Amino acid sequence: MRHWLMMLLVMAVATGALAQSGNSPATAQDIYPLATEAERERFDRLLNELRCPKCQNQNIADSDAPIAEDMRDEVYRMVKDGADEQTVVASMVERFGEFVHYKPAFDARTALLWLLPAIVVLIGLLVIVVIVRRSGNGGEDDGAHLTEEQRRQADELLRRQ
Amino acid sequence: MKRALLFLPVIVAVAFGIFLYTGLGKDPQELESALIGKPVPAFELADLKYPDRTLTPDVFQGQVSLLNVWGTWCPACRDEHDDLIWLAEEKGIPVIGLNYKDNRNQALRWLQDLGDPYQITLFDPQGKLGFDLGVYGAPETYVIDKQGIVRYRHVGVVNPEVWEQKLGPVVRRYQQEGS
């Protein structure tokens, strides 16, 4: 009986605690309230696409650096004013350089970055073509130069197995 | 011919190795400013010492100057402070300060206690100009030419070595240009 009471008590406390922690945590919507779903999506995409100049390899959604906070505020202000994605990105690139964008524009300096995967795949294809051709060359006339007699012998050997 | 072809992978590997090796010594934190060759972004900021005085990019006109971004919260700014005084007093280089995200009283006390190398200090508590300049960590020092155009950016502490190797040559080049 006492065990049962104890258990009930524990359960009551636990559910109470759960209910308390159930208060929803602060979301982006609380800190940066936006009117429409489209704006919220744009804001989210921008935060994930822009890179923090201080803590490199973090986007500004992720980073806690003061500069990332400033950038979030500025992106928020621009999105709220109805700026589209390109405008926001361009204004950040203007300040911090191409570095700030996870998808840098294609130009002479980033050409290698963008083209390298294609170049590597091309080299791979070339290597495959060469290897296949080479091995194919040896096989093509296999058996063609055999005399009738040799052919008969070969058939016999194969049949024996 | 075929023999030579066999060495191709080695040659490619060595070339790639050299390419990667040259990248090793580089500091990934050092980003080139997007503003090089462009005028200092427009601003209207109060003077740190005279709150009623409004300053605009005109403060850069007519002289090649250094724009030094600092704050009392920034330990590295303390490190370079004596060298900035050395630059201003011994070398006669005009240094404009940008007090970045700071508190006016603390900033004034700092200049009183440590000495003031700055010709003028812009007071930017919200970090607005700093943001437009692309400042991502103090201290940063820019070379601004006589027309108010950004010519160079140095991220990190200024010391005699940085002056001799990086800032000095740029300042001298633009000093000669218009004179």
User: Is A88 among the domain residues?
Assistant: yes
Among A54, A74, A94, whose Cβ lies nearest the Cβ of B136? A54
Number of neighbours of residue B155 by Cβ within 10 angstroms: 19
* A53 shares its domain with A71: yes
pLDDT score, position A63: 84
pLDDT score, position A22: 47
* A77 shares its domain with A125: no
User: Is A84 among the domain residues?
Assistant: yes
> Chain B: residue nearest A70 by CA?
B131
Domain boundary among A79, A100, A121: A100
Assigned CATH topology for domain B32-178? Glutaredoxin (3.40.30)
* A41 shares its domain with A80: yes
Which residues are CB-neighbours of B92 under 8 A, at least 6 positions away?
A: none
Per-residue pLDDT tens digits for A92-117: 888 888 888 888 778 887 888 889 99
Please answer yes or no on whether A97 and B28 come within 8 Å at the CB atom.
no
- Enumerate residue ranges in chain B where pLDDT < 70: 1, 28-30, 32, 178-179
The pLDDT-based confidence of A1 (bands split at 50, 70, 90) is low
Which residues are CB-neighbours of B55 under 8 A, at least 6 positions away?
A: B43, B44, B45, B46, B47, B120, B122
Among A53, A74, A93, whose Cβ lies nearest the Cβ of B136? A53
Number of domains in chain A: 2
Average pLDDT for A72-78: 90
Residue A74 distance to chain B (closest CA, Å): 9
DSSP A143: T
Tell me the CB-side half-sphere exposure of residue B129, using CA atoms within 13 A. Answer: 25
Annotate chain B with DSSP letters as a single string: -HHHHHTHHHHHHHHHHHHHHHHHT--TT-PPPTTTTSBPPP--EEESS-TT-EE-GGGGTTS-EEEEEE-TT-HHHHHHHHHHHHHHHTS---EEEEEES--HHHHHHHHHHH----SEEEEETT-HHHHHHT--SS-EEEEE-TTSBEEEEEES---HHHIIIIIHHHHHHHHHHH-
User: Is A2 among the domain residues?
Assistant: no
Please answer yes or no on whether B136 and A96 come within 8 Å at the CB atom.
yes
User: Is A116 among the domain residues?
Assistant: yes
User: Is A94 among the domain residues?
Assistant: yes
Per-residue pLDDT tens digits for B81-107: 999 999 999 888 999 999 998 999 999
User: Is A160 among the domain residues?
Assistant: no
Q: Which amino acid is residue A6, in one-letter code?
A: M
* A94 shares its domain with A130: no
Q: Token pair of B175, please?
A: 């000093």
Instruction: Provide ipTM, 2 decimals.
Output: 0.71
**Does the CB of B135 have a partner CB in chain A at under 8 Å?**
yes
**Does the CB of A28 have a partner CB in chain B at under 8 Å?**
no
* A88 shares its domain with A118: no
Q: Token pair of B97, please?
A: 């300060």
* A78 shares its domain with A36: yes
Domain hosting A55: range is 28-100
* A41 shares its domain with A64: yes
User: Is A119 among the domain residues?
Assistant: yes
Residue A119 distance to chain B (closest CA, Å): 14
Backbone angles phi, psi at B69, to 5 degrees: -95, 125
User: Is A15 among the domain residues?
Assistant: no
Number of neighbours of residue A41 by Cβ within 10 angstroms: 12
pLDDT score, position A16: 60
Per-residue pLDDT tens digits for B27-45: 766 676 778 888 888 899 9
* A51 shares its domain with A80: yes
